[in-house]
Structure 1
Amino acid sequence: MLNQTPIWKYLLVFFVLAMCGLYALPNLYGEDHAVQITSGRNTEVSATLVPAVEASLTAANITTKSVEFKDQQVIVRLLDSDTQLLARENLERKFGEDYGVAMNLVPDTPEWLEALNASPMKLGLDLRGGVHFLIEVDMKSAIDTAFEDIIGTFRTQLREEKIRYRSVRQVGEEIEITFRDPEVLEKAQFFLRRGYADMVFNERDDLTLRAVFTEAKLADIRDKAVKQNITIIRGRVNQLGVAEPLVQKQGAERIVVQLPGIQDPAKAKEILSTTATLELRMVDELNDVRDAVNGRVPARSQLLYTAAGRPVLLEKQIMLTGNHISDASNSVDENGFPQVNISLDSEGGSKMSNGTKDKIGKVMATVFIEYKATEERDANGKLVFKKEMEVINTATIQARLGNSFRITGIDSAKEARNLAELLRAGALIAPIQIVEERTVGPSLGKENIELGYTAILYGLAAVLVFMLIYYRAFGIVANLALVANVIMIVGVISLIPGATLTLPGMAGIVLTVGMAVDANVLIFERIREEIRDGRSPQQAIHFGYDNAFSTILDANITTFIAGMILFAIGTGPIKGFSVTLMIGIATSMFTAIVLTRVLVNLIWGGRRVKSLAI
């Protein structure tokens, strides 16, 4: 008998619809206004902070829906935006010095759905509201950092090769290496040219060797500065609890950051603008730190202080910068004392090995460097940054170090954990400056959502009415499949990590609603043709679906390819449109061909039918 569906296909369709419906369900619960408390640089959020937060809000007569510790942060859910603002101000006064306090919107998903990893769709900036930043990387600082790094390497390698030099210093956009006689200069020139293909060396008449980076190397330094800053910014954005942030490169020196749902631009700006790096340097043990405190600092040393105000005299030469650290973790040593385990990349491991082979038993310091913007601007109108340095750790080198080593002598497990997190976060190669800031209010986002939903509902209703009138009973089947298709789109977007719904994405859903019935129109018209050619109802259904399949497949594949191209070369809103378009094509193929065939077979298949209501 024609048009009978096997049991496994019924089960497959039921399973797919059930799963998509389940993961679409969280979108019905909406979001709560919230204030979240995250870890600070020297403090860590734990569940023990919850009672203090509750007590502070209760004393201020602020009513909350809940206060919970989740995902390494305390989340305070409030009743409305006015209460949210009051709670933020109260918590900022109480905990702002030690922790990060920011306003946000958090999903109100029931716990049983969260246990299944079900969450609502991630909404883009245009739908949810939030903050848009355009950040510019200070390339001059990036290049200066590269110069400092290579100068230290030159000094170390020239000493190892027993090539005596008078000085190695940066002068403008070049490095000048001065020697005492021509023979030594010629030997150094031969050695350096062989080892540094990405630099150009020129000899001068005054026994000075001039070294500059090649254009290719400068371009590589700039590109790495942007890429590494993007990585660090993404880590900082996680402190804000943004569900689906956008952090991407724009042009040669700029980064776009979009934070949907963030309602506290000042806090977001503060976290993003903080520019920090790390250096490993040797402690100057040959000179007295007390003399340095009194103003007599040796020429090759630098006086710095710890957070507690203890002076530490360091050598100016940098052994290693934080951008060579690939991983860091805290643990305990064989005596039960806290330590931090460091892993370096290949270049960093080589530098560490050469730099510490003669320094066993000496003290090494970890220096935290932060660039803070001043009110001054340079000739190009860019902000001038002030460099602040602080010693966060000193430890004795126990053995020659390589790609992996450990930092000991740390006071507490908490300090070890904080240091490991700081090292894991990496180091910004260059300071950053926010050159553009836009805030999209939640009311505008809410209006966009309402207009988008209205467009989808009107489009869906129009299509449903047309199909019902024109195809009668088969129109009902197509309408059921169309509603299922919309639910599947929402479920798949909610399920896919990284998928974000934007306003153009909602336009993609509206387009998909129309495209979804295209397949059914082709199938139903083909069934009508088969009936007009004299075939029985069962044969008309069978050949209608079979003969229309290739046409439907070809049309959808070409549209899907167009969506892939849009996704590959497009940015921002275009990507959002292409994602929903491709998802809609995939789901409409399933509902229009598989689901409607199952429903048609269930109603008319395997039985004697004299006529079809089509």
Structure 2
Amino acid sequence: MSKEWKIGIAVALVLVSLLFLVLALPVNLPGIGYDMQKVVRDQWGIKFRFGLDIKGGVQITLEAVPYENQTLTQDDVNQLKTVLENRINTLGLGEIKLYDDPGDWKRVVVEVPADVLSEKGLDAQGVVDFLGKPAKLEFVAPDGTVVLTGADLKSAYVTTDQSGLPAVGLEFTSAGSEKFYDATSKWVGQAITIKLDGEVISDPTVQEAISGGKASITGNFTSSEAKQLAALLQGGALPTQVKVSALRNVGPSVGSQALQAMEYAGVVAAILIVFYMIFNYGVLGALSTVSLIAFIILDAAIYIGLFKAVLSMSGIGGFILTLGMAIDSNIIFYERFMEELKKGKTPLRSVQDAFMHTFNTIIDSNVSVIVVSLILFYLGAPTLRGFAITLGLGGVLNILLLWLVAEPIISSFVASRAKRTEVQA
């Protein structure tokens, strides 16, 4: 790929990302249509969300209560926690803390950021209602027999019906698929009632035997209701009943003042870094700021837009860490370039050799960071996921921007400078 194509792709990515960030700002900007901002924020989900540590939220303590004739055990509480985590993850409630209450083994504590609540259109009671639903799914035949339950469900997802209205798609396990085929074969022309926690949510008439292990629940669902129902079914039924032991608002542990102080520190640090790069590497150091600016814009846009993640202190910490790694990558490249020049090579040849020798090293170091971030994301606590995303994303961008921005810009600059020197000579 030519240098011009690389730079063109990088410029296009940065401009699109910058536009998304501007439209995602939580203020109405003059000269930009509010409708466009509203579409980006509400429909595309590109908006700034702050975590519990920055803007506060609610804390809910749920206590496991046994069903009739059930003896409550620690395994039941552990399974309850797993189901609650599944529901939270399926609904996309990012940066939620869920942990055991150290004072009572039967209790689980849930902390939800205020921005997540407002985005999902929920209040504290709405979260309680969502997490506390038993979610006992049953397919009941005309003779009253339960032919399938939630245990036969493999996955649930949002889809649309024949009229384009929101619906919930169901996919059964292999055993569930056989049961569903047998039931629909037996009751053609009659209704199989779908119940959730004993309430009828759909009452479709069987037109023909259905194979393939898939079905759908239709009704007058809104998009939000379909998402919540799919999340409930995907998360599974609660192994115990739950009751609310405590419900209270939680203030930010860090607060907006600390966030402003960190933003100020970040601006000062960025200015010092630019001066350092220019002082040590001259014009090449100034050119490196282009790559760093592109890194900041792309990292923020992808984190907010693609991952729709919440900005918590851990996420911001991961961003700052990878920004430092981006600076290190540029310094490694420039130092190798200076070494190649000292060997008597031409500037253009020095750039090419420096890139060839340092690129693999930079890839190795960043791939290691990406692997660590994946481990943190899948095995770490929910509060570490923001850090894991920014850490891994920064590693990918460090590799990409060195190839797309730093190397072609410096090569073009050195080549043009060499041509001017030849003309003057």
- The one of 91, 109, 112 equivalent to 1:259 is 112
* Partner residue, 2:270: 460
Q: Which has the higher helix share?
A: 2
Alignment of 1:178-257 (within 5 A): 244=94, 246=96, 257=110
Kindly indicate which of the two structures has a greater share of residues assigned to strand. 1
Alignment match of 1:529 (pick from 335, 339, 350): 339
How far apart are 1:489 and its partner, in Å?
0.7
Structure 1 residues 508, 9: CA separation in 2 closer, same or farther (over 3 Å shift)?
Answer: same
For residue 30 of structure 1, the aligned residue among 14, 26, 29 is 26
How much does 1:587 deviate? 1.4
Deviation at 1:487, TM superposition (A): 0.8
Q: Which residue of 1 aligns with 2:327?
A: 517
Please state if 1:428 is matched with 2:234.
no
Matched, 1:600 2:410: yes
Q: Which residue of 16, 19, 23 corresponds with 2:16?
A: 19
1:519-551 deviation line (CA, Å, top 9, x unaligned): 221222222223333333333333333333233
Superposition deviation, residue 25 in structure 1? 2.8
How far 1:503 sits from its partner (Å)? 0.8
Aligned residue in 1 for 2:31: none
Q: Which residue of 1 aligns with 2:52?
A: 125
Partner in structure 2 of residue 550 of structure 1: 360
Q: Alpha-carbon deviation of 1:403?
A: 10
| 2:67 maps to 1:141 | yes
Label 1:232 to 1:526 Cα distance change in 2 as closer, same or farther (>3 A): closer
Q: TM-score when scaled to structure 2?
A: 0.68
The two structures, once aligned, show a CA RMSD in angstroms of 5.3
Q: Which runs of 5+ in 1 are unaligned?
A: 33-106, 145-171, 174-214, 285-314, 333-339, 370-388, 407-412
Query: Is residue 588 of structure 1 aligned with residue 398 of structure 2?
Result: yes
Q: 1:432 to 1:525 in 2, by over 3 A?
A: same
Post-superposition offset of 1:507: 1.0
Q: Equivalents in 2 of 1:489, 1:512: separation in Å?
A: 10
Deviations 1:144-176 (A, max 9, x none): 5xxxxxxxxxxxxxxxxxxxxxxxxxxx89xxx
Amino acid at match of 1:598: P
Residue type at the aligned position of 1:124: G
Task: Note if contact 1:468-1:476 (Cα within 8 Å) is conserved in structure 2.
Answer: yes
Determine the structure 2 residue equivalent to 1:323.
Answer: 150
Q: How many Å apart are 1:511 and its aligned residue? A: 1.5
1:78-135 superposed Cα distances (whole Å, 9 cap, x missing partner): xxxxxxxxxxxxxxxxxxxxxxxxxxxxx99714646994712444332343234454
What SS does structure 2 have at the residue aligned with 1:141?
coil
Deviation track 1:311-346 (CA, whole Å, cap 9, x = no partner) reads: xxxx9xx735752574799989xxxxxxx9998766
Instruction: After TM superposition, list the pairs within 5 Å mapping 1:411-426 onto structure 2.
Output: 426=233
1:230–1:255: 8 Å Cα contact kept in structure 2?
no
- Greater RCO, CA 8 A, separation 6+: 2
Counterpart residue number, 2:281: 471
Residue type matched to 2:4 in 1? I
Distance in 2 separating the partners of 1:356 and 1:6: 62
Asked if the contact 1:478/1:592 (under 8 Å) is kept, the reply is: no
> Are the structure 2 counterparts of residues 17 and 118 from structure 1 closer, same or farther at C-alpha, using a change threshold of 3 Å?
farther
Pick closer, same or farther for the CA change 1:396–1:585 going to 2, 3 Å: closer
1:184-228 CA deviation, whole Å, 9 max, x = no partner? xxxxxxxxxxxxxxxxxxxxxxxxxxxxxxx9xx96x88776655
Q: CA deviation at 1:390?
A: 7.0
Q: Are the structure 2 counterparts of residues 569 and 458 from structure 1 closer, same or farther at C-alpha, using a change threshold of 3 Å?
A: farther
CA contact (8 A) 1:537 1:609 kept: no
- The percent identity for this pair of structures is 20
- Residue in structure 2 matched with residue 268 of structure 1 by the alignment: 127
Corresponding residue number in structure 1 for 2:165:
none
Question: For residue 96 of structure 1, what is the aligned residue in structure 2?
Answer: none
Q: Secondary structure at the match of 1:605?
A: helix
- 1:7 is matched with 4
Is 1:366–1:394's contact at 8 Å kept on the other side of the alignment?
Answer: yes
Give 1:542's aligned amino acid.
Q
- CA 1:116–1:444: 2 relative to 1, 3 Å: same
In structure 2, stretches of 5+ residues that fail to align are: 29-33, 163-167
* Residues 540 and 230 (structure 1), Cα distance of their counterparts in 2 relative to 1, 3 Å cut: closer
Call closer, same or farther: CA 1:518–1:322 in 2, change over 3 Å.
Answer: same
Partners in 2 of 1:602 and 1:402 — Cα distance? 61
Paired with 1:14 and 1:224, the residues of 2 have a C-alpha distance of: 49
Q: How far apart are the structure 2 equivalents of 1:396 and 1:543?
A: 71
Whole-Å Cα distance in 1 between the matches of residues 60 and 388 of structure 2? 24
Pairwise CA distance, 1:575: 2.5
SS at match of 2:47: coil
Question: What is the count of residue pairs matched by the alignment?
Answer: 392
Greater Cα shift, 555-564 or 224-233 = 224-233
Structure 1 distance, partners of 2:318, 2:245, is: 32
Is the contact made by 1:135 and 1:434 (CA closer than 8 Å) also made in structure 2? yes
Cα pair 2:84 2:131 within 8 Å, conserved = no
Whole-angstrom CA distance in 1 between matches of 2:323 and 2:132: 43
CA distance in 1, matches of 2:202, 2:349: 82
Counterpart of 2:276, as a letter, is F
TM-score, length basis structure 1: 0.50
Name the counterpart of 1:495: 305
